[in-house]
Structure 1
Amino acid sequence: MTIRINNIVLDIDDDLSLIKNKVAKKLKISKSEIPNLKIIKESIDARKRDIIKFNYCLELEHKNEALIVSRANDKDVKIDDSVFIEEVKPGSKPMTNRPVVIGMGPAGLFAALLLAKSGYRPLVFERGEAVDERTATVERFWSTGELNKESNVQFGEGGAGAFSDGKLTTRIKDRRCDFILSELIKAGAPEEIAYMGKPHVGTDILKTVVKNIREQIRAFGGEVHFSSKLERIIHKDGSVKSIIVNGNEIPCDNLIIAIGHSSRDTYEMMCREGIIMNQKPFAIGVRVEHPQSLIDINQYGKFAGHPRLRAAEYRLTHTSDRLDRSIYSFCMCPGGEVVAAASEENRLVVNGMSYHARDKENANSAVVVTVGPKDFEGTSPLAGMEFQRHYEELAYKVGGGNYIAPVQLVGDFLRDKKSTRLGKVSPSYTPGYNFRELKDCLPLYVTEALKEGLVNFDKKIKGFADDSAVMIGIETRTSAPVRIERNENLESISLKGMYPAGEGAGFAGGIVSAAVDGLKVAENIIKNFCPLNN
């Protein structure tokens, strides 16, 4: 057990050493009785831009926890006995074949890690390349337009998040989150992610982290195979019997499907195999770029550029009663860049990415509008996916081909005018861009909702709808367009032994939540089966 101390506040120029003084005063003990003090959470309070403070939650081990908490008599001081229990008691049912994990995004990576550490020696198959080779392939695509449909920004070791900001913010409350952060740190992520209010790793560091986790999986007896695509699931009497990977049949009775939100051909295959899935809402829109300095000044005022402050972020939402749509910022990348994120030929989609330092000139974020089954054509479970494809094809054509992005300045977009020259912001999208009207590759209701949202956001961040801010089209991969239905045991309701997991299955929305879902699925297998070598 430990003592948890909340609401220890420092001014922006206070030295961190003052934390121990403030804790000692709150606990009514001497500083000498505080040998070890652990930061659990650090958040920035910038509600008043002229008075910026840091708020800390801390943890202290002490031999007299109960006495100290009682004597402090403070609502911000309590005993914390919450512990993540990594060990899950194995079940007794014999396992005929090694469990198989399809996909090495967060869900697949952490499912495989837990299975491996628990003695289950999983087989992991990833259609894309290992992260180093994948990086070279992606960079070649960005510079030449040469797309590898099997290994790209969406597919490969680390999943789509490996070429994004590596944000670890999550709104879910789950004991597994601490385990995930701990494992990321062990694998090379900065220790600060354990306590930062809005933690992120960054693409540059995340690549090393996923490699180290992969090697842990192998060290514990797992196998990891790249450039290995799931082509078919063989089943009999409602249960998984085997899978086909690269033309080879592999016996399998416990199959974790962690394919990510862009594995459209795999969705199509599962649909043909009778796997029950349904349409799911998501959001589409554009990337918007501003000078990072504009965001910093709006968030931090006179303290913008202070050495204690990181590049400022924002999260904006607006509901249009007129259009019955939500408009919101998504995957905001401070000091980042906009990247080409296509996974299919002749279809254009963009995403945002930041390195750990977040020190690029521009800030970017998706600004997206909710869409759902009422907007899709037909009743097919894959109608939302076809909706994405349709507008990605339009964006490709409007941009001029070869993954050149259509670009429009915000001021011109609001006035339905084609842009002819840049203002204060230079687009960071490397394959190139052409000035086009974005309304030509988006539904009318999305265009109208974006206009309303931009005007509203400008009231919250002055300059958000500045004439020279840049809009880059289009963003469509905010989340999976389907949900693969599963039961209370996290198995597919149509196929025993198949466990849909993570964002691609429709059960997560980010790195941490997807990793949590992967752990849950792995735990269910562990609870039911004993390891193969027992």
Structure 2
Amino acid sequence: MLRLSELKLPLDHSAADLEVAITQRLRLAPGELRRHQLVKRSVDARRRGAISLVYCLDLELEGGARRRLLRRFAGDPHLRPTPDCRYRPVARADGSSEALRPVVVGAGPCGYFAALLLAQMGWRPLLLERGKVVKERTADTFGFWQGRRRFDPGSNAQFGEGGAGTFSDGKLYSQVSEEPAYIRKVLEELVAAGADPDILTLHHPHIGTFKLATVVRGLRARIEALGGEVRFGQHVVELLLEDGADRRLAGVRLADGTAITTRHLVLAPGHSARDTFQMLHGLGVAMEPKAFAVGVRIEHPQALVDLARWGEAAGHPRLGPAEYKLVHHCKGDATAGRSVYSFCMCPGGLVVGATSEEGCVVTNGMSQHSRRERNANSGLVVPVTQEDLAPYGQPGGEALAGMAFQRHWEQQAFRAGGGDYRAPAQWLGDFLAGRASQEAPPEAVEGSYRPGLRFGSLDGCLPDYVLEAIREALPVFARRIPGYAMEGALLTGVETRTSSPLRLQRHPTRLDSLNTPGLFPAGEGGGHAGGILSAAIDGIKVAEAVALSLCEPALPGTPPHSTARP
């Protein structure tokens, strides 16, 4: 087959129009196009008065036409042979290995995909998750948001089956360039587990919260059907290491005292597993501080964003709710060198409580698959530097400074919200003017955050340099999205869990810990991914590394983690 890309058609085209456009673009004779298959569809909205859909298609052609086109379009990047994007496992268990069962910690996208790949390769992994199954976790989380249940530190928007991504927009795209075979593998497995097939073809696919709950149940069922095992309520509190300089992993200990023996542990705890990070630091596991960002959530009417992006085409059924992506490089005296950017933008979504610790307020964005809520929301965040974090670190504990920084400002927000998990909030006009919010301005956005809001000032909820950078950026963003700086837009604090504040260091090819062989840090919690797609791909890659380690006996005189790789 041949792959044709960058084929543009107007919004209101028909299926017949698409076929005509293919034949005209390639000057095909009748009968030469046997069939076409959609690979990807995106929107070109650079001209709001002439929005078009952009297609990438695989074409099955009569043999002579294929050869002719390859000659005629030689060197044209928009017509080329269809690439082979099939995923191929790197190793399989042969049934004769006496290796101990590999263990995976964490049932987020990274942990589930690591376990799924290990199961597909025949290694019968054991997956341990501290939280609850997604049905019970959803009841706990929504009950907390709605004021019907007390906050549960073990079952919330961060911990439990599906990980933090379960209560999000479920975006499946990444700014990190990954091999197409890995991307395709993740998307196909998600569809097999219950996701809509359209994620295979949309340029910016997403799943949505309720559908994500179905998908994670499907992933669990697939792992178990292949001989893997998933256990919930299993909180790993200690790594067991062999005596001697090698420090090789020997197993894990659970909160109930149970010890599980293993020599291969995929650690995918998520970016909020602070007690795990503290335990690993105490054991001397190699780690380093990592960049992250903090800020607020901003809400606008979704109709405002649709109009700014789509113009007169706003509301067209082929477009859906509009998204945006914004960045500003600061130039003010107090903010020079800093930047502000939109993070995890959720069209037609909700702002939700995402804390995992008592006495803290954390916000995040969430959308259902339909994205039909009245508001658009996004994080507006500012990266923090190592210099910013220095006052929060302890001697010898610099890698944990970011964690302490996050916790400090989350506790500040908890106090500003009234100490009952309401979030501090401020109207945008008041925020820019430097006054506390009391009465709602005309056309004020109705906030979606649950358990609720307490209006006042965001001063004191975040560092001054973060607030000043956001104040500088808002008028700039309004030049790109008219109405963005409307007085009644709503700012809710605080957004602090953009990514892990540290990285568990690992070997660049073996992917195990630099100083704890047998431990394979992975995903967002390990500091090696950001978002559902990249976390799932990292889970696959770590599973491959574990499988290779399981398949290859150590060379004479060398520790197992030094084994050569093909």
Q: Is structure 2 residue 395 aligned with structure 1 residue 374?
A: no
Query: Quick one: distance in 1 between partners of 2:457 and 2:289?
Result: 30
Unaligned runs of 5+ in 2: 554-566
Is the Cα contact below 8 Å between 1:66 and 1:79 reproduced in 2? no
Residue 468 of structure 1 is aligned with which of 461, 483, 488?
488
Output one character per residue of 1:366-419: Cα deviation in whole Å (capped at 9) or x when no partner: 000110211112352100000000000000001101101111001100111111
Residue 317 of structure 1 is aligned with which of 327, 334, 343?
327
The aligned amino acid for 1:239 is R
Unaligned runs of 5+ in 1: none
Q: Is structure 2 residue 449 aligned with structure 1 residue 429?
A: yes
Report the secondary structure of 1:301's partner residue. helix
Q: Partner residue of 2:563?
A: none
Residue 340 of structure 2 is aligned with which of 313, 327, 330?
327
Single out whichever of 145-154 and 371-380 deviates more from structure 2: 371-380
Output one character per residue of 1:90-113: Cα deviation in whole Å (capped at 9) or x when no partner: 489945211100001111111111
Q: Is structure 2 residue 543 aligned with structure 1 residue 522?
A: yes
Q: Partner residue of 2:156?
A: 152
Q: CA deviation at 1:27?
A: 3.2
Matches within 5 A, 1:470-485: 470-485=490-505
- Equivalenced residue count is 531
Q: CA deviation at 1:73?
A: 2.2
Q: Is structure 2 residue 220 aligned with structure 1 residue 214?
A: yes
Higher relative CO (CA 8 A, sep ≥ 6), structure 1 or 2? 1
- RMSD between superposed Cα atoms in Å: 1.7
Is the Cα contact below 8 Å between 1:282 and 1:480 reproduced in 2? yes
Query: Quick one: distance in 2 between partners of 1:513 and 1:474?
Result: 25
Is the Cα contact below 8 Å between 2:23 and 2:33 reproduced in 1? yes
Query: Quick one: distance in 2 between partners of 1:316 and 1:251?
Result: 48
Q: Is structure 2 residue 112 aligned with structure 1 residue 109?
A: yes
Query: Quick one: distance in 2 between partners of 1:148 and 1:397?
Result: 19
Report the secondary structure of 2:162's partner residue. coil
Q: Partner residue of 1:202?
A: 208
TM-score, structure 1 normalization: 0.96
Query: Quick one: distance in 1 between partners of 2:348 and 2:200?
Result: 22
Output one character per residue of 1:253-285: Cα deviation in whole Å (capped at 9) or x when no partner: 000000110000000011111111111110000
Query: Quick one: distance in 1 between partners of 2:24 and 2:353?
Result: 53
Matches within 5 A, 1:56-455: 56-62=55-61, 64=63, 66-70=66-70, 72-73=72-73, 75=76, 76-90=78-92, 94=97, 96-144=99-147, 146-171=150-175, 172-175=177-180, 176-236=182-242, 237-246=246-255, 247-322=257-332, 323=335, 324-376=337-389, 377=391, 378=393, 380-423=398-441, 424=443, 425-455=445-475
Query: Quick one: distance in 1 between partners of 2:178 and 2:458?
Result: 38
Output one character per residue of 1:121-151: Cα deviation in whole Å (capped at 9) or x when no partner: 0000111111111100101111226111111
Query: Quick one: distance in 1 between partners of 2:496 and 2:196?
Result: 31
Query: Quick one: distance in 2 between partners of 1:173 and 1:113?
Result: 19
Q: CA deviation at 1:31?
A: 5.5
Query: Quick one: distance in 2 between partners of 1:508 and 1:454?
Result: 29
The aligned amino acid for 1:351 is N
TM-score, structure 2 normalization: 0.91
Query: Quick one: distance in 2 between partners of 1:128 and 1:201?
Result: 22
Report the secondary structure of 1:382's partner residue. helix
Report the secondary structure of 2:548's partner residue. helix
Report the secondary structure of 2:547's partner residue. helix
Query: Quick one: distance in 2 between partners of 1:366 and 1:85?
Result: 34
Q: Partner residue of 1:501?
A: 522
Query: Quick one: distance in 2 between partners of 1:241 and 1:439?
Result: 48
Q: CA deviation at 1:72?
A: 4.6
Single out whichever of 29-38 and 216-225 deviates more from structure 2: 29-38
Query: Quick one: distance in 2 between partners of 1:359 and 1:520?
Result: 36
Query: Quick one: distance in 2 between partners of 1:290 and 1:195?
Result: 29
Is the Cα contact below 8 Å between 1:95 and 1:529 reproduced in 2? no
Query: Quick one: distance in 2 between partners of 1:291 and 1:500?
Result: 40
Q: CA deviation at 1:451?
A: 0.3
Query: Quick one: distance in 2 between partners of 1:400 and 1:457?
Result: 31
Between the aligned residues of both structures, percent identity stands at 44
Query: Quick one: distance in 2 between partners of 1:272 and 1:191?
Result: 45
Q: CA deviation at 1:38?
A: 1.4
Is the Cα contact below 8 Å between 1:334 and 1:354 reproduced in 2? yes
Query: Quick one: distance in 2 between partners of 1:129 and 1:43?
Result: 37
Is the Cα contact below 8 Å between 1:127 and 1:150 reproduced in 2? yes
Output one character per residue of 1:267-316: Cα deviation in whole Å (capped at 9) or x when no partner: 00111111111111100000000000000000011111112211000000
Query: Quick one: distance in 1 between partners of 2:521 and 2:62?
Result: 45
